[in-house]
Structures are given as C-alpha cells and as structure tokens.
Structure 1
C-alpha cells in the first residue's frame, strides 16, 4: 500500500510539473501555438498550397523546436488578435506586432526580434514625393488594427481601412487610393511581386521606426524562456540567417 501511494504521488508531481503550451485544440504535451494574421507577406502569409509561411513562421518554428514542441501557427483577424491571446486561444502573437505603450498595458512583450518602420507608398505618377505633399483630401489605405493609423492621423489625411496589404496596394494600383502606409519591408516585397507593383514607389524616408516583438499574456513565464531562446538565436546567427533567407540577404534583426 505504501509503495502504491508513493507511486501515485510521484506521478501526480510529474503531471503538475509538465508545462502546458497548447491553446487547447492540440495535444497539450507536444504543441505550442503562435498567432499571426496570415495576410502579411513576407512575414506570415498563405501560399498556393494553403500553408502559412514566412519570416515570422520560421522564427516561431525555430523557437518551438528549441522548446521541444511542435509549432501550430494560428491565423486570425488582426483586429481581434490581442483579445484572442488574452482569452487563451494561443500562447503568443508572433506576427510582426510592434511594441506600443497601449499594447503594453494589456500584454507583455519579448525583446524585439526585428526592426522596421512605417513607410508611405504612392504611384510613380501621383506627384507625391514625400509625406509633406499629402493633404486632407488624399485617401490613404491602412490595414485595420495596425499602428500605422497614428501616422496617417498625424498627416491629416482621409483614412480608408482594409483587411490586409494585398487589398491596400491593389486599391492604390487601381487608382482608388492616393497612398498606402505600411511596413517598409512588407511594401518592398509586395511591390516586387504584385501585378502592377512596378508602378509604385516609396515616398520619402521612414515615417517612424518600429520594434517588433512577441506578445504574451500578462505575467506569462513563457516570455522569459522565449527571451532566452531569442538571445541564443541572435548569438548563434540563426535569427540573422532566417532574415537573410526571406529578405534577399538583408538582416532586419539588428537595431
């Protein structure tokens, strides 16, 4: 009887000590879930095989592997992604989320894993060469829920919201927008691939630099563990290697 009770106690201790990373839809012992919009190439997007791929996804997969878990990369609407995290539907947001004071009030961020910034994009024949050329009569497209709204508001333009940057840039190409504000790297990638992208150009310098990081629920100890892994990935060159594979040899992971 003593031996049986002792065995049960040991088993109970092991179960309680086991980390639980899944949001609940997968095997809790083997899966960690990170989320992104799935509409933000080349960071996270759906390919022709209906698979989510991109820089963010590769970073998430490397983190999961070093944790000893399988990655389940969840795609969800960007404007509700923080609420999904707070409701426990996934373990973190690894989807090019910029650190802002407002977001820091409701989530905890890892250290930045890449750096970029807000960029104005226009048609080459628009006559707009810099943000200073914009007026309140200009229609500027943004993705709903992004920090680029603050940049458009400062410029005093008319703002139009869309689901993703494929839509904003197509609206710009088709003449239904005067400009788009998005991430510089995202814009350059889209302009090189989208039909009609060669008719677009960057207007002026960055409006604002951004630090992008992984969001976690408040006080989640997983954040500190992931910070340690990001430091390892930076030190051993893995983070830079992932960046260079997606951005034509450019390392966007340095400040």
Structure 2
C-alpha cells in the first residue's frame, strides 16, 4: 500500500471510530490492564531491532519502556510493518507507536502526537565508489526507500528516479552494498550510525532545499487528552533528569533531542 493510500485508509478508519459511541480514555484502559502496548517496526536499527537473543531492543524500545514505567505500567513491545502501523493504532491493536514516525500534517489528520521526542532528517546515500556526485545525477538511477515512510512518497515525486520500496532499512543497506540499487533515501541518523559502527561503504549526498531536520513524534489515537498529557509529562521529565540523554548516548552516541 502506498503512503497516500495508507494515510487515506487510516483517516477513513478514524472517521468511523469518531462516529461510534464514546470509548473510555486509553490511559484509563491501560491502567486497568497494567500494560501500555507500544508498537514499532523492529527493523530500524539502532531505534528498534531484534538482537542475537531474539529480543527487540533499541532507542525506541527504551524510550517506550521508560514512558510506560513513569505511567506506572509495564511495556508490551509490539512489532508490526511500518506501512500499516497507523491503521493498526487506530484499530486498537496497540496503544501507542514509539516508532521513529515523522510528524506531518497528513498524519495528524488521523492520529495525535506526543513530542517531538527526537529530531531526525532525510538523508540520501550512495555507495562510496559510485560515480554519482550530486543530487542532479540521481536521475535515471534506482533508489531504495522504506515502504510507508515519508521518504517513500517524496522519492516518488522526484523526476527520473526509479524507486523500489522495501520493508526495512537493513534490507535497503544490503541492496545498496550488493549494487542492486544506486542510492537509498532514509532517516539520516540510523544510516550514519551504521556507517560509523559497521564501516558500511556509503557516503551522503546533499539534498538541495530540504530542511535538514524533522520532528519525530510518538503517535496515539485521537480523543485521548489524558494519555497525551501523561506521556508528554513523562517524556519531559526524562529529558530534564538525564534519563533521555543516557538512552540516546547508549544507542546513537549523541543526544538527538
């Protein structure tokens, strides 16, 4: 499903839910259950990924778990494909998405956001040995994106690009290293971390006219002011007392707020 179709579907589901009888506030329901169900893709290292012990770990996992703890709840980490994550949230499959989701006006029509909880930004990368030296030279080449991300829609709007959509960042990196795609477009932070820690032979290409930063938020269902306020208070407290900085340094190597 394309980015626009997935958003349209999510808005339709949201409209049908708003037309239904009022439901209990999600914070109340989570406290009754004692659990906050936290969703993410699980395929976006170092934010969320499966480690050698088959545990889902990463920056987003630690942030979601700490917020749940501060609400007096345990965290149930749920992994789901990113292209359907908004629809899954609206349908009640989980309570929140701590999944490196960029805040956009289109998404805000269907869901609410807590945060931003970090600042990312779009990055364009090519293999170090590529003859592509600037943005204009991408035309006529194959570019990899993650299905459902804002970068997916943006890449498909570029003239002359052949865009291939993938389920995860690791898959895209493998395709670039194998020479099956000529470039990748993704959030720059995890790619730069992979280049530094894994020695991946990639280099960044400047994107003219693109804001180098993006607000990344925590998604919740609409009509949940108490949950939104409680999660924002927890996030603000984490940032104030050094917990957030420690999590960020652990996974990213710097404070990315």
> Is the CA contact (8 Å cut-off) linking 2:152 and 2:165 kept in structure 1?
no
Count how many residue pairs are aligned between Structure 1 and Structure 2: 228
RMSD: 1.9
Unaligned stretches of 5+ residues in structure 1: 1-15, 23-27
Question: Which digits, 9 at most, give the CA deviation of each residue in 1:183-230, with x for residues without a partner?
Answer: 111112223455xx5321112268442111100101113111101111
Deviation at 1:180, TM superposition (A): 0.1
Residues 1:234 and 1:145: Cα distance change in structure 2 (over 3 Å): same
- Indicate whether 1:20 and 2:29 are aligned: yes
Which residue of structure 2 aligns with residue 8 of structure 1?
none
Compare relative contact order (CA 8 Å, sep 6+) and give the higher one, 1 or 2.
2
Cα distance, 1:154 vs structure 2: 4.2
Q: How does 1:79-94 map to 2 (within 5 A)?
A: 79-94=83-98
Q: Render the CA deviation track for 1:73-131: whole Å, top value 9, x for unaligned.
A: 10001111111110111110001000011100000001200001010110111112332
Tell me the residue number matched to 1:11: none
Which residue in the other structure is 1:170 paired with?
174
Tell me, yes or no, if structure 1 residue 108 matches structure 2 residue 112.
yes
1:174-253 correspondence to structure 2 within 5 Å: 174-193=178-197, 197-204=199-206, 207-208=210-211, 209-220=213-224, 221-248=226-253, 250-253=254-257
Moved more, 149-158 or 90-99: 149-158
* Paired residue secondary structure (1:39): coil
Answering whether residue 61 of structure 2 is matched by residue 57 of structure 1, we say yes
Q: 1:134 to 1:185 in 2, by over 3 A?
A: same
Q: Check the 8 A contact 1:38/1:46 in 2, yes or no.
A: yes
Q: Distance in 1 between matches of 2:223 and 2:133?
A: 45
Which residue in the other structure is 1:117 paired with?
121
TM-score with structure 2 setting the length: 0.84
Alpha-carbon separation, structure 1, partners of 2:147 and 2:45: 16
Give the aligned partner of residue 145 of structure 1: 148
Runs of 4+ in 1 over 6 A off after TM superposition: none
Structure 2 residue 50 is matched with structure 1 residue 40:
no
